[in-house]
Amino acid sequence: MMKILLINPPKRYTIWAGIPEALNKRVFLYPPLGLMYIQAYLEEYTEHKVIILDALADNLDFSQIERKVKQIQPDVVGVTACTHSLLDVVKTVAAAKRANKKIHLCLGGPHVSTFARESINLTGVDSVILGDGEITFKELVESLEKGDDLCNVKGIIFKNNDDIIQTGEARYTENLDILPFPKRERLTNLNRYYTSGTESNLMTTMVTSRGCPYRCNFCNTSKNYRYRSPSNVVDEIEQCLRLNIREFYFIDDTFNVSIKRVIDICREILKRNLRIKWGFKARCDNIDYKMLKLVREAGCRKIHYGVEAAGDEALTELNKGGQVNVRQIEQVFQWTKDLGIRTIAYVMIGCPYEKTRADILRVLDFVKKIDADYVVFSIFSPYPDTDCYQEAVKKGIIRKGIWEEFIKNPVEGYELPTCWEEYFSKKELLELLKLVHRKFYLRWQIFFRVLFSLHSLGELRRVYKDIIALGKLLVIQEPQGKI
């Protein structure tokens, strides 16, 4: 039997990616579901002991991570990696290796899926997982325990002395129903996890699908879309109810890819007579009134809509046109509000098609028109593995190779491009970001809407902290992409 430690790194050197930092720290803190799925799978099918260290939720620094690793004395350490927190990942790896250089260190997560070769070449990394982690990581651990040749583990890249060996393409679990549910009872303190707008004092996130079939040019989500059956989803909800968790946020990249599947999930919730509250992330297409009425009956209290832009031409520029249009957005927000469901609109400013100040403020006028309850404004940020990033490089807006240099050698003091600076400077965009927040939120109707929609003392406390964060946003200068 081996001891496995899975680490969710802290975010102390995160690269700013368009969302206001003052709000970003207050919007959410989610349970590390990716690591929890791996833990559940290993404990279901092996005898290995698996521990999760959520250094983000525990607010650990890297010396504290090192001490934790020394105390636990794992044989294998797995670290989840995201591109915009890559320096934190590297420092976490270094801390684990300082604790014991003989530890086998494995990376997984979104960053590795795109930058696998760069990931295996990072100092201290012994292997990386391509694709989904549960089955592949289990096979890796078993192979390490037996001392077998890692070439027999498909879907990894590993170091063998000075050689880098890839054992095949990424592996993805097509039938997600075979995966055991995350063991939320194993979390140190479930109450500390939250998302803005949560009504209850205890909530959790769930994932009912993986990937996204759409091709928005600003998004780097995996296009390998797979989904769980409605009965499997509701089985997990019932498991959470036994832990007294009655509020859920489905964090699928797009929950409503299929209207039928959403309806089937709702019918399953109603059939089992489950009294829950929940919300989800959605596009403004693949929605009709019948579906919205049913999600409300099944307990839905809020929907996070990816509005993104305020015009049909703008939506086309983002590769959402032809699927979503302004008329649909207006209709969906009206339906949602008529049914008493909270609406959260996600919009971007500083997009490539916005050439003037008036272009940007058109987004503000639009979210007022659709009367969104809340709006998450962010600055358009070309992620390094997206179509819009390639276009920025082609136009000379972003220097060719700058992100690639950082990804190969993440160090402090590196300044990275985080905005589309063709028509506006970063400073101008930050000032406009503050302006749209002021013009939307500093209105009496927003104040009274929030005040009269509160459901609990806990929600009041969270809203108070959100207001403080919003106040900081209006006066504090945002970071400039330097870490």
- Using CA atoms, how far residue 81 sits from 37, 273, 387, 409, in Å, is 16, 39, 21, 15
User: Do 241 and 371 fall into the same domain?
Assistant: yes
The answer to whether position 390 is within a domain reads: no
Which domain range does residue 452 map to? 193-381+418-475
Residue 179 counted as domain residue? no
One domain, residues 209 and 117: no
pLDDT of residue 320: 82
Do 273 and 353 sit in the same domain of this protein? Answer: yes
Lowest-confidence range among 116-120, 272-276, 409-413?
Answer: 409-413
Q: How confident is the model at residue 14 (pLDDT cuts 50, 70, 90)?
A: confident
Q: Which pLDDT does position 98 carry in this prediction?
A: 98
Which CATH number do you get for residue 275?
3.80.30.20
Amino acid at 434: K
Q: Which of 163, 172, 107 is nearest to 407 (CA)?
A: 107
In a domain, 360, yes or no: yes
By C-alpha distance, which of 422, 411, 459, 470 is closest to 91? 411
Q: Are residues 128 and 201 in the same domain?
A: no
Residues 305 and 365 in one domain: yes
What's the pLDDT score for residue 413? 82
Domain count, the chain: 2
How far CA 328 is from CA of 263, 288, 305, 311, 322, in Å, comes to 20, 10, 12, 11, 11
- DSSP lists the bridge partners of residue 8 as 54
CB 173 within 8 A of CB 132: yes
Q: What is the DSSP letter of 186?
A: G
Mean pLDDT for 324-348 is: 96
117, 155 Cβ separation under 8 angstroms: no
Phi–psi pair at 376, nearest 5 degrees: -100, 100
Both 205 and 155 in a single domain?
Answer: no
In this prediction, residues 205-223 reach a mean pLDDT of 92
Q: What pLDDT is attached to residue 16?
A: 74
Task: Give first-to-last CA distance, the chain, whole Å.
Answer: 40
Contact assessment for residue 384 and residue 219, using Cβ atoms and an 8 Å cutoff: no
- pLDDT tens string 274-320: 999 999 999 999 999 999 999 999 999 999 999 999 999 999 999 88
272 and 315 fall within a common domain? yes
- On whether residue 278 sits in a domain, the answer given is yes
Q: Judge if 349 and 467 occupy the same domain.
A: yes
Evaluate whether residue 442 is within a structural domain: yes
pLDDT band per the 50, 70, 90 thresholds, residue 441? confident
Task: Output the pLDDT for position 26.
Answer: 53
Lowest-confidence range among 189-198, 320-329, 367-376? 189-198
Show the tokens assigned to 467: 């207001």
* Mean pLDDT score, 356-361: 95
**pLDDT, position 21:** 59
Q: What is the mean pLDDT of residues 114-132?
A: 96
Name the region of 371 (left: φ>0; alpha: ψ -120 to 50; beta: rest): left
345 and 458 share a domain? yes
Is beta strand 104-108 parallel, antiparallel or unpaired with respect to 76-80? parallel
As a whole number of angstroms, the distance between CA 53 and CA 33 comes to 12
Share of residues in the chain with pLDDT > 90 (%): 76
pLDDT at 372: 94
Does residue 116 sit in the same domain as residue 232? Answer: no
Residue 78 lies in a domain: yes
Is 182 contained in some domain?
no
Does residue 326 lie in a domain region? yes
Model confidence at 370: pLDDT above 60: yes
pLDDT of 409 higher than 80: yes
| 251 & 370 share domain | yes
Asked which of 121, 147, 166 is the last residue of a domain, the reply is: 166
Which CATH number covers residue 107?
3.40.50.2300
Per-residue pLDDT at 468 = 52
Residue 460 in this model has a pLDDT that exceeds 60: no
**Residue 253 sits in the same domain as residue 320:** yes
Mean pLDDT for 63-72 is: 98
pLDDT band at 472 (very low <50, low <70, confident <90, very high): low
Pairing mode, strands 76-80 and 3-8: parallel
Residue 450 has pLDDT above 80, yes or no: no
Among 117, 147, 166, the domain-final residue is 166
pTM of the model: 0.92
pLDDT of 180 reads 98
* pLDDT band, residue 415 (cuts 50/70/90): confident
